[in-house]
Amino acid sequence: MRSADLHIEGAKSGALEVARTRLIVPVSLFVFGFSLLLVRLVSIGLFEDISDRVTRRASAKTEIIRERVDILDRNGVVMATNLPAPSLAVRPSLITDPQEVADRIVRLLPDLNRTRVLNKLTSSRHFLYIKRNLTPTQVWKINALGYPGLVLEQAEKRVYPQGRLASHVLGYVDMDNKPQAGVEKFFDDHLSNPERSNDPLYLSIDVRLQYIMREELERAMDKFSARAAAGIIMNVNSGEILAMTSLPDFDGNGAIDPLAPEMKNRNILEPYEMGSGFKTFTVAMALDSGSVKLTDEFDATKPLKVGRRTIHDDHAKKRFLNVPEIYTFSSNIGASLVIRQVGIEVQKDYLERFGLFDKPVIELTGLSRPILPTHWGEIQSMTVSYGHGIAVTPLNMVTAIASVINGGRLIPATLIRKNKGENITSSNDYPQVISPATSRKMRQLMRLAVEKGTGSFARVEGYRVGGKTGTAEKVVNGVYDRTRKITSFVGAFPMDRPQYIVFALFDEPHGTADTFNMATGGWVAAPVVGQVIRRIGPLLGVKPVMDVKTEYQNLILAGNEKK
């Protein structure tokens, strides 16, 4: 073989070696990588818990950023949230045939006015909205038109899945998602913060209780042809509002007229003369100050004349009454004589302690102050003792009554859910309005008012209900009108260890044949409170207890009354 041939063969052999070497390297890397992947798969299958993988996958989810934060009830039920709601807008300068575009838009969106649409399409302005809150179908059809001057702008709409339920608590937002009332407005800094999109606002409201309260108020409002109604359920040991209803109400999902009567939350905006419910404060301050004792008796044998005024009892006993009887049978004469012994300055001091001289405290805007007598003389002091001449909001009333029965502490109302156990922790947490001993006595007196007196229609077997009726004549053109009344009942349960207050009020109810044409607190409001307690007791986990003795019954000498 020639040397030239040997050289060629050697060159070929070297090239093959180089190629073989280059091929081995990537194949080796591929085999190595595949082996690592195989080992990892075996490791995951044999040694890792599936829950770890699920947890890691869940934690890697992308957070949703919304324009406004969700509002939930205390149990996590959605009360307000945002949904995608694109808007149709136009850039008029890009519309070449406004007549044709207007025709086609109105065919797709027949609720629009063609003339107004055409005016927008031919406007000299740079950008105009034609319709907000489009449905997905409408968005698809607008897109299909293909006009470059039409703009579909992504936006969100605030929606209230519960409709009218708790509308006065939640409030509402305008077309631009700007809050106008309720917790929407009070907590706007929280709710409008994109960084808190996944940090919902938990309210103290329980939608189950809210539904029951609204249903019972509406039923009674219709039955007695009342102008309006209001109701509150409160935890007396934490101040949490579990339900707050004002009727008539509104639906935040629809068109809103801010000046309409149904926009008024009567629980915080409307001061009312509460009538005999104020006797609770009169008796409490008399006992707490040491001005009277339970066994003290007062002359209610005839109407009481004070100057040019005469004070009557609607259901006169025409005899001397002790303190439990004055309260149980709701004697105006007796309350007036009790407060005369207490004194004007002591009366004013205690009412101020109860928070009845100030706006109620709660996370809402537009709160109303109580209406107090311009002059506080003897006759004014007496009429205030039975709830005339002074007007407070229902929330004022409920908060103050809670302090009477919860051991004497004035706890501000709240619409924010508290953590479990976040009730009263010591006597220094909140102002001590009356002593625990006085509070225990008042619980028994409120129990007597239901068992033996004017609140008997609020009685619920097993739930040891206590309470007080209230009936007041409305002031019309500066004069009390006997035909127009405000009737109310404030009840609490269980009275041996109070947890909840239920309050109901009706504006100008009318009696029926069933009530012998009477429209007082005992006939109208007390049955509503009783029915609400009957329905919410099991939901709140309050176990019925039978045969709980009510004290001071030996001091009651007369039969039942309805007022």
Q: Is residue 215 part of a domain?
A: yes
Residues 392 and 446 in one domain: yes
Number of domains the chain contains: 3
Q: Within this chain, do residues 501 and 528 fall inside the same structural domain, yes or no?
A: yes
Is the same domain home to 269 and 333?
Answer: yes
Residue at 512 is within a domain = yes
Q: Does residue 188 share a domain with residue 147?
A: no
Q: Is 503 contained in some domain?
A: yes
State whether 76 and 94 are in the same domain. no
Residues 131 and 75 in one domain: no
Same domain for 192 and 300, yes or no, is no
Q: Is residue 323 part of a domain?
A: yes
Same-domain pairing of 516 and 381: yes
The verdict on 149 and 225 lying in the same domain is no
Token readout for 67 is 């324009």
CA 219 to CA 146: how far, in whole Å?
53
Alpha helices in 435-552 (DSSP H): 436-451, 521-539
Judgement on whether residues 183 and 243 belong to the same structural domain of the protein: no
Structural tokens at position 505: 């009020």
Q: How far is Cα 328 from Cα 452, in angstroms, rounded to an integer?
A: 7
**Which residue type sits at 371?**
I
Where residue 543 sits, what CATH number does that domain have? 3.40.710.10
Domain of 121?
87-153
Could you tell me the two tokens for 377?
A: 């003389």
Please give the Cα distance from 372 to 386 (Å, whole number). Answer: 14
Active site residues: 276
Q: What is the pLDDT along the chain (563 residues), one digit of tens a residue?
A: 555 454 545 555 555 565 566 667 666 666 666 666 666 666 655 555 544 444 444 444 445 556 799 999 999 999 999 998 888 999 999 999 999 999 999 999 999 999 999 999 999 999 999 998 888 899 999 989 989 899 998 888 999 999 999 999 999 999 888 999 999 999 999 999 988 888 999 999 999 999 999 999 999 999 999 999 999 999 999 999 999 999 999 999 988 999 999 999 999 999 999 999 999 999 999 999 999 999 999 999 999 999 889 999 988 899 999 999 999 999 999 999 999 999 999 999 999 999 999 999 999 999 999 999 999 999 999 999 999 999 999 999 999 999 999 999 999 999 999 987 555 544 468 999 999 999 999 999 999 999 999 999 999 999 999 999 999 999 888 888 889 999 999 999 999 899 999 999 999 999 999 999 999 999 999 999 999 999 999 999 999 887 666 666 666 665 444 44
CATH number for position 185: 3.90.1310.10
Longest distance between any two alpha carbons in the chain, whole Å: 152
Model pTM score: 0.83
Residue-level pLDDT at 56: 44
Instruction: For residues 274 and 385, give the distance between their C-alpha atoms in angstroms, rounded to a whole number.
Output: 11
Assess contact for 401 and 443: CB atoms under 8 A. no
Spell out where 132-277 has E strands.
150-153, 156-159, 201-202, 228-235, 241-247
| In-domain check, residue 15 | no
In a domain? residue 33: no
Residue 453 sits in the same domain as residue 309: yes
Question: Does residue 322 lie within any of the structural domains?
Answer: yes
Indicate if 508 and 412 belong to the same structural domain: yes
Flag whether 57 is in a domain. Answer: no
DSSP string of 290-333? TS--TT-EEEESSPEEETTEEE--TT---EEEEHHHHHHTT-HH
pLDDT at 395: 98
Residue 177: both structure tokens together? 């998602």
Beta strand pairing call for 309-311 and 304-306: antiparallel
CA 43 to CA 13: how far, in whole Å? 45
